[in-house]
Structures are given as C-alpha cells and as structure tokens.
Structure 1
Amino acid sequence: MKTQLEIARDGIISEQMNQVAADENISPELIRSRVAKGEIVIPCNPSRKNQRAVGIGAGLRTKVNASIGTSSDICDIDAEVRKALIAQEEGADTLMELSAGGDLDAIRREVLKAVNLPVGNVPLYQAFKETGRKYKNPSKLDPEFLFDLIEKQLADGLSFMAIHCGINQYTIERLRKQGFRYGGLASKGGTFMVAWMDATGKENPLYEQFDRVCDLMKKYDAVLSLGNGIRAGAIHDSHDRAQMAEMIINCELAELGRERGCQMMVEGPGHVPLDEIQGNIMLEKRMSGNAPYYVLGPLPADTGAGYDHITAAIGAATSSWHGADLVCYITPAEHLALPNENDVREGVRATRLAVRIGDISKYPNKRESEKLAAMARRDMRWEDLEKHLMFPEVAKQMRRERCPQEEKTCTMCGDFCAMKKGMEVFADDIKYDKVSK
C-alpha cells in the first residue's frame, strides 16, 4: 500500500485528495502537488472505514484539533465518548484520544467507533502507563514493547500520532546547562521519555530508530506528527536553547521522513509571548521545507487559568494568521482540571473562532461571509444574519431570551439604535455592492 505522499508523487489524484479539494474549493491538482511536496498531509488510515479525509497544510483552512481522554483521577469511558461526539458536533476537524487512566485499549476503540473524525494519540502515554502498572517503574519501559504498541494502536485505526522523536541526549544537556526552566516541562510523553533516558543512560529509541517509526506509520498511511516534548510551559522559557534544539531536530526529521514516503507534520509550542509567534512559525516553515505545523494553543500568557481558552484563542488567531496549519484547542479547564463536556464545547468554539479570525487575515478572499454578515446586521435582517454566523443557535437563543420591544432592533440599544438611524439618513445613498440583494 502506498501513502498519500507516494501516490501524489506518482502523479495520481486519490479519492482523499479529491475530497479535500472539494471541501476547500481548490483544484485537485493543486492539492496533489502540495501533498507530493509534503506541504499538505491527509490523515486517513485506510484500515478505518467511514472516516472523513481532512487536509492540513499550505493554502488550506486552518484546522482545529480537540483532545479528550481519561486521567488516573477521572476515568469514565462513556463521558469520553460524549466529549468526542461534542467535539465532532461543534466542528472540530481532528481528535486526539489522550487517555492515561483505565483500559486504554478499550477507550481508544470506543472513541474510534463513535466518530468519523481522523483520530490521533500519543503512544508514549500508554507505553509508560502500562510499564508503570507492570513494574511499578515507568523507566523500565522496553523499547520493543513501545514499537509493538505503536503498531497495535495504528491497527486500531489511528490516522496520526504525536511521537517524540526529537528528544535526544543533546536536547537534555541543553536543559541542564541552561539551569532547567521557570515553567518546568509541559509535555507528559516528553517528560517521561526524558526521565527514561536519564534513568537508563540510553538514547531515545524513537530518535535512534527513526526509520523504524516511519516505516510503521507508512504501513498504515498515518501522519507522523513530530511531538514537541521539550516545548515551553511558560512564556519566560519560550525559544530557549532546549526548545530550539528539539525544533531543529524535528524539522530535519520531517525532511528525512518525507524522503521515506511518510506523511510528516511538525508540532510547536506551547507557551509563547504574542510577539514571538510569527517568528516561531517562520522558523518551522523554513527549516522543515514548509511541512504542516501543528501548534498547541499557543498560550501567550501564563496567568489566565480558568479562561485559558481565551488566552489560547488569542495565540491561535495570531498563529493561524502567520501560517500555522492545525491548532490544538485549549479548554477553560487547562492547567486546573480534566475538561468536562461543556469545557470541550467551549474550547472547540473558541478555537474555531480564533482560527477563523486568523484565516481572514491570511486569506483575504475568505472575507465575503464577514461582509454579508455585516450588511445583514446593518439592515437588521436577523434571520439572514444567522445564516452567516459561526454559532447561529447561540445568537438566536440570546435574541429569544432578551426580546426587544421593537422587533427590528435589539435590547442593546432599543430605540437608541445606531443602525436604524443610519439607514434612515443614508438609505437613498447606498450603492455599488453595498446594496442588499
């Protein structure tokens, strides 16, 4: 079986490429050419039927990932399935199943059955959790068990994996020489791999046997997302030597993986001040040969806990504007608790709105619906306005619950309405495409 990358290099437009082209209103040949260059990836494991193909990369709408999963404190499979369905209902493009408590195989398989989104994970979670259960020490992880586990998870139908290949002894040395960090380490999989390397004195097997990782991913045409295991967990650690060492390695591995015919994606930060986001994306794109960039947030402040979906939305809008391709949502519970169902809903909504804001800056031709929404609001055509909104049901409910005395206005202004008065003054002067159809 050939990967989407290999098919594209053969000059063939696959069914999945055609679907992405139709979804994005872009020519299938342009999709094929960018897949062939590694600038677009399509996570769509063929062993999982009835899965929606999603394109991630250059020239496409910025995609949103939602993450769910149990912890050692809260483990409810039914709740995780409901969260997955909510994420899909709210318009997430991909889903990551990141459970770290309970029967991890059963949870993954139930989630895969419940949704048609491309689903990814972090295989190190299960590898270290099961090793810890068996030996009471996660650092007794056997690399062969890890590789066998990766294949088992892929066989279940996962379409992408965040695999921490860019951590090596060199990156760990950078952490030590710079006096560690203000915010510590934020990646669970990355941190446990660092601890394994420290305990064993060995090199990271995912880095040392990178070709083997690629070959497993190729076998199932899954996208290898090069995990950001040394990402900063505080803005004061952003772009320190350890983070940059891993980023350089990941960008180099993206090129090596593409040469083997594997679909590759690079992961990014993390906690990054707003003024550094553009530079971060420029570095990833330049060093990786324009590989799709998957950013986690990013969060441009460390003091927003409880509202970190808003903190991250600001970072997500900026990232989308400057070229990020996939954004992992952040929920209001980030840094505080396991997200509940409402947190998932709010996280997806905030991130979808954020990347929409970024996309209308990145792609000015995508602003038409903004204009139509503005004109409908100007004319107080409320039903027409709802057709152009991202969250029409929310808008409809607000108007229904706070119904104005005069149907055309709203209770924000009542009879002191700027829109109504403006139309009275300038009704005869409206022309060009400012006239409502």
Structure 2
Amino acid sequence: MSILTTTQMQKAAAGIITPEMIQVASSEYRQPEEIRQHVAAGTIVIPRNIHHSNLVPMGIGRLLRTKVNANIGNSALSSCPEQEVEKLKNALKYGADTVMDLSTGENIALIRKQIIEHSPAPIGTVPIYEALARAGKAEDLNEELILQVIREQAEQGVDYMTVHSGILLEHLPMARKRLLRIVSRGGSILARWMKQKNKENPFYTCFDDILKICQEHDVTLSLGDGMRPGCLADASDQAQFAELGVLAKLVSRCRAAGVQSMVE
C-alpha cells in the first residue's frame, strides 16, 4: 500500500527531508532532521501551499524563533489591489514573517491573487470573511458555500487558513455569562448562524471535508479561538476551556490526516 506524501507533514512522517525543511533548518540554525521530526510530530508547521510558487519557506513552532504576523486587507469603504500590495510590501519591509489578507470588501479574490503573487512570505486568510461577503448575511451561509470558498482559496495558493471549528452550539449559553460575550469576529458570525438555525457549527460538521482540501493543497490550518476572552473578567472561563477541549481533538484529527495545524 502506498503512503500519501502530499503534505509536508506526510513527507516528514515518511522520513523524507524536503527542500522546505532544509530551508527552515538553515534559517533557524537547526539540523534538517530536527525539523523533520517536529514537522512529523506536528510541533512545527511550514505553511507552504503547493501553488504558492514564489514562497520562501519558513517555520512556526517548537525550537524556532517567534514569528510576527501582519494583517492587511480591504473593507467595504476603501482600498484596491494596488493599495493592498503596497501594504504587503511595507509589512515585509518592516519584518513581518507572515501576512494575512482579511479583505471584506469588493474584489476579494483579485486582491488575494495579487498579494500571493507578490509575497515571498506565507499568506493566510479567514475564509468565513469571504463566505459572509458572498452570502450577504450570516443566516444565508451554508456548508456548500463555505467549502467552495475554502477550495477556491486553496487552489489560489493560500498557505494557511483560520477556521473557527471549535465553537459549538452547546457553548453559546456559556458565553451569555460573560461581560463581553464573544469578541472574535469569526466566532460571532458563527454564533449568530447557530442561534438562528439551531444547528451545529458548519466548520465543525464539515471538518473532514476541510481536511481533504487542505491535504490536497498542503494548506496549514490555524484553528481559531472563537471563544477567546475580550477582558480579564472573562478569561479562563467555562466557554474558553470548552472550546479549547474541542480544539485539542481537532488538532488530533489534523495530525491523523497529515494536515499541518496550529492553534490561534
């Protein structure tokens, strides 16, 4: 039986040291075998979509330098592809290791395409933002649209995606006890959807389908913390730990599928 070796994690588990692992080892002053072992274990990720041709590989995780992410993206009020590319260049100039395109306005796919083409650094997204922009309102989101957006972003070359798969319907009453309730944008969108539909989080119910897409294109999953606290009064509460418990299980599912993952 052949062993799948599409992703960096699958290759590492098969004992293969990839050029990306060698690059990370060189930039971090580590041995390639060290990097391979940690990628195989899931304690280092190398966000590297197979379609992002001009990417310079970098690693995130154990043994490695702390990395800095910069968020850019347009809104319904302003910005265009040229401005976002300029933001990208400035972010990289001043030391960003990764960049997220959080566009929510017009021409989202075009802007993302331009950013990926101009970026040697890993590019991340939050797919629910584009899904909501297409749907118009949270109530009109559905599993098919969400998977379509994730698939299109993966095919375009997005290296890592934040998905809020850990916030569940049963967690919503816990958030009502909070001072600031839900402060995550992705988490609040999904909470509204679950409340209106009285259904489970589609990012959770479709998680196996999401894994298949990520496996095919070697997209790293950033498991979003939709129940992160917005103030000290809400920190380390029932809602936060309930979601963390789900995220821990999702990390295990990612590793079993050979998909790289990190927790936001």
For the aligned pair, the TM-score class normalised by the smaller chain equals over 0.9
- How do residues 119-130 of structure 1 correspond to structure 2 at under 5 angstroms? 119-130=123-134
Inter-partner Cα distance in structure 2 for 1:117 and 1:43: 9
In structure 2, runs of 5+ residues without a counterpart are: none
Equivalent of 1:211 in 208, 213, 216: 208
Could you say which residue in structure 2 is the equivalent of 1:10?
14
Could you say which residue in structure 1 is the equivalent of 2:170?
170
Check whether the contact 1:18–1:28 (CA below 8 A) recurs between aligned residues.
yes
Inter-partner Cα distance in structure 1 for 2:153 and 2:34: 32
Inter-partner Cα distance in structure 1 for 2:12 and 2:186: 32
* Identity fraction in percent: 39
Alignment of 1:77 onto 2:81: yes
Write out per-residue CA displacement over residues 355-408 of structure 1, whole angstroms, 9 at most, x where no aligned residue. xxxxxxxxxxxxxxxxxxxxxxxxxxxxxxxxxxxxxxxxxxxxxxxxxxxxxx
1:140 shift after superposition = 1.1
Q: Which amino acid aligns with 2:33?
A: E
Could you say which residue in structure 2 is the equivalent of 1:266?
263
User: Secondary structure of the equivalent of 1:217?
Assistant: helix
Q: Which amino acid aligns with 1:253?
A: L
1:212 shift after superposition = 1.2
Matched residue count: 260
Alignment of 1:257 onto 2:222: no
User: Secondary structure of the equivalent of 1:70?
Assistant: coil
Equivalent of 2:220 in 223, 227, 234: 223
Inter-partner Cα distance in structure 1 for 2:32 and 2:218: 20
Check whether the contact 1:128–1:139 (CA below 8 A) recurs between aligned residues.
no
Q: Which has the higher contact order (CA 8 A, sep 6+)?
A: 2
User: Secondary structure of the equivalent of 1:193?
Assistant: helix
Could you say which residue in structure 2 is the equivalent of 1:142?
142
- How do residues 290-309 of structure 1 correspond to structure 2 at under 5 angstroms? none
Could you say which residue in structure 1 is the equivalent of 2:58?
54
Inter-partner Cα distance in structure 1 for 2:171 and 2:91: 35
Q: Which amino acid aligns with 2:162?
A: A
Check whether the contact 2:15–2:36 (CA below 8 A) recurs between aligned residues.
yes
User: Secondary structure of the equivalent of 1:225?
Assistant: strand
Alignment of 1:114 onto 2:109: no
1:76 shift after superposition = 3.2
Could you say which residue in structure 1 is the equivalent of 2:25?
21
Q: Which amino acid aligns with 1:258?
A: R
Check whether the contact 2:142–2:202 (CA below 8 A) recurs between aligned residues.
no
Distance 1:65 1:138, change over 3 A: same
Greater CA deviation, 76-85 or 38-47?
A: 76-85
Could you say which residue in structure 1 is the equivalent of 2:69?
65
User: Secondary structure of the equivalent of 2:221?
Assistant: strand
Could you say which residue in structure 2 is the equivalent of 1:89?
93
Check whether the contact 2:143–2:206 (CA below 8 A) recurs between aligned residues.
no
CA-based RMSD? 1.2
User: Secondary structure of the equivalent of 1:92?
Assistant: coil
Inter-partner Cα distance in structure 1 for 2:203 and 2:122: 23
Alignment of 1:98 onto 2:95: no
User: Secondary structure of the equivalent of 2:129?
Assistant: helix
Could you say which residue in structure 1 is the equivalent of 2:159?
159
Inter-partner Cα distance in structure 2 for 1:149 and 1:84: 22
Check whether the contact 2:138–2:190 (CA below 8 A) recurs between aligned residues.
no
Equivalent of 1:196 in 193, 196, 210: 193
Inter-partner Cα distance in structure 1 for 2:78 and 2:231: 26
Q: Which amino acid aligns with 1:162?
A: T
Write out per-residue CA displacement over residues 3-22 of structure 1, whole angstroms, 9 at most, x where no aligned residue. 11110011110000000000
Alignment of 1:44 onto 2:41: no
In structure 1, runs of 5+ residues without a counterpart are: 268-437
Q: Which amino acid aligns with 2:45?
A: V
User: Secondary structure of the equivalent of 2:222?
Assistant: strand
Write out per-residue CA displacement over residues 201-259 of structure 1, whole angstroms, 9 at most, x where no aligned residue. 11111111211111111111110110111111222211111111111111121012101
Inter-partner Cα distance in structure 2 for 1:153 and 1:141: 17
Inter-partner Cα distance in structure 2 for 1:188 and 1:130: 16
Structure-1-length-normalised TM-score: 0.58
User: Secondary structure of the equivalent of 1:161?
Assistant: strand
Could you say which residue in structure 2 is the equivalent of 1:233?
230
Write out per-residue CA displacement over residues 79-103 of structure 1, whole angstroms, 9 at most, x where no aligned residue. 2211111111111111100011111
Structure 1 segments of 4+ aligned residues over 6 angstroms from their partners: none
Q: Which amino acid aligns with 1:233?
A: G
Greater CA deviation, 233-242 or 83-92?
A: 233-242
- How do residues 326-345 of structure 1 correspond to structure 2 at under 5 angstroms? none
